[in-house]
Structure 1
């Protein structure tokens, strides 16, 4: 299965998870010259820019470790552009959502870890 399909599947899982936690979807796949933000959601306090990381397991490294300083900087720049285009009184926050799916999209109960204020 190609990585684009797996990525969309992971993002849909993450969005469903966030909706169950009372977040409202604002956007998906926001792209700029700096990069892409997977999910933009909000609750009463925060506008959340979420990076979704899908892996089969954490044996090599935890999924969050793939959001390195360079990736964080690209996400910050991309979020800054989004904030320039969309007025909000909410506090921005960066989250990482790790999804572990040993059988890819065939995984029946993937493990989801939500790291709030990840960086």
Structure 2
């Protein structure tokens, strides 16, 4: 997976890929300098509907957080810093190689209670 390779190059240690539960999935769970990062990967081949990272809706954020809490409980993780990142992969039609962008702290559990959406930019 392209995103895994990208994260490893940046020093992330991959703990699990495609962690699935009945209510959803987390694409990548990894460890980054004392923090457990739950990473959502979004890929697009056209910019017709905007950049990939903007497709992480409030509903998707809630789903990721719920599954992340299940992961924490299942693995008995305590007293750890947690973070929700997004890896955006865009394949421009006129180029061979994708543009890959990492959004650290793309959203947080506390963002869900706030009104409005949090921008990635």
What TM-score, normalized by structure 1, do the two folds share?
Answer: 0.81
Q: Bigger shift: 68-77 or 49-58?
A: 49-58
Q: CA RMSD in A?
A: 1.5
- Count of aligned residue pairs for this structure pair: 105
SS at match of 1:116: strand
Give 5+ residue unaligned stretches, structure 1.
1-11
**8 Å CA contact retained: 1:29, 1:36:** yes
* 1:53-98 C-alpha deviation (Å, 9 max, x unpaired): 0101334211111110000000000000000011334311000100
Work out the CA distance in 2 between the residues paired with 1:108 and 1:81: 38
**8 Å CA contact retained: 2:41, 2:87:** yes
Moved over 3 A (4+): none
- Greater helix share, 1 or 2? 1
Match in the other structure for 1:111: 99
Q: Does residue 98 of structure 1 match 2:88? A: yes
Instruction: Pick 1 or 2: higher relative contact order, CA cutoff 8 A, min separation 6.
Output: 1
SS at match of 1:94: strand
Residue 27 of structure 1 deviates from its aligned partner by: 0.2
Match in the other structure for 1:76: 65
Q: Which residues in structure 2 correspond to 1:53-72 (within 5 Å)?
A: 53-72=42-61
Give 5+ residue unaligned stretches, structure 2.
108-121
**8 Å CA contact retained: 1:34, 1:75:** no
What TM-score, normalized by structure 2, do the two folds share?
Answer: 0.80
